[in-house]
Amino acid sequence: MLKYIGKRLIYILITLFVIVTATFFLMQAAPGGPFSGEKKLPAEIEANLNEHYGLDKPLFVQYVSYLGSVATLDFGPSFKYKGQTVNDLISSGFPVSFTLGIEAILLALAFGVLFGVLAALYHNKWQDYTIAILTIFGISVPSFILAALLQYVFASEASIIAIFPVAGWESWASTVLPSIALSFMPMAFIARLARSSMLEVLNSDYIRTARAKGLTKSAVTIKHAIRNALLPVITYMGPMAASVLTGSFVVEKIFGIPGLGSHFVTSITNRDYTVIMGVTVFYSIILLISILVVDVLYGIIDPRIKLTKAKKGV
């Protein structure tokens, strides 16, 4: 397993190199510049700014310098936030997005697995059909539409059940509506994955054997079926967790949450290229680490996967 993790870490470094390179040159190819705007700066001021930030140097020199900075996890200064670096913005925004993301992940995982298992146990019954309608709604309705709907029903002054803040980041109550909006689509995907996997597991031979031995339905479901049915869910959890933890750009903007997603949206509007590149690289790091954790969890949940890799020398 240690050898396998070592190989994956090497692949992660190679992937990050490609991502950093692609992000850097895409930003350079984008029209305009970090100091372009509706109000054009005098040529002398713009030249001084370019010199101050090293933007007047040859492209290859900028690229090598940026690679060196990223290697030390230094994403450079922000062009628009005065006196702040990209690391400062990530340090202030990521804990907020992380807190919100953890709540959304727990909600999505708990209710997604629950609904998926119930739908499989009551296959082709009203419970299954009700959950199917709910998951279709969750997948088809964008998170920003759901966010606005939740604000109208549970936070607006016109509602009779306005029990949560409309926006802001002041207390636990401020996290409820955005975490629900973030979790609804992942929950729907997890429910569908869990349902399909449970149906396949429940029809397997070892489940029939367990039932033939006289085990109760709850014992068969909890001790044997759910554990093996979770593998597809864990596969989805890796990239989903990375996306949710780093912040949903639109949802954070709607609820006025000062998370990483909000900084990213603002940086795009302001052409703050270092923030765009830094957040993109940071997101990629979280994503790649999440996928690695998922692969390690495979071996914990299903020992057969670990044995197979050991025989292959991985």
What is the per-residue pLDDT across 167-186, written as a single tens digit (0 to 9) for each? 888 888 888 899 998 899 88
What's the pLDDT score for residue 38? 56
Lowest-pLDDT choice from 31-40, 88-97, 167-176, 218-227: 31-40
* Closest residue by Cα to residue 187 from 121, 261, 137, 229: 137
Average pLDDT, the chain: 81
pLDDT higher than threshold 50 for residue 314: no
Q: Which residues lie across from 85 on neighbouring strands? A: 77
Higher pLDDT, 265 or 284: 284
Question: Where exactly are the structural domains of the chain?
Answer: 2-71, 88-312
Q: What is the CA radius of gyration of the chain?
A: 24
How many CB atoms neighbour CB 62 within 10 A?
16
Sequence-distant (6+) residues with CB within 8 A of 246 are 94, 97, 101, 260, 261, 279, 282, 283, 286
At 305, the pLDDT band (50, 70, 90 cuts) reads: low
Distance of CA 194 to the CA centre of its chain: 19
Report how far residue 250's alpha carbon sits from residue 142's, in angstroms, rounded to the nearest whole number.
10
What's the pLDDT score for residue 309? 47
Residue with tokens 């998926």: 116
Fold for 88-312, please state it: MetI-like fold (1.10.3720)
Note the pTM of the prediction, 2 decimals. Answer: 0.76
Lowest-pLDDT choice from 35-49, 160-174, 244-258, 297-311: 297-311
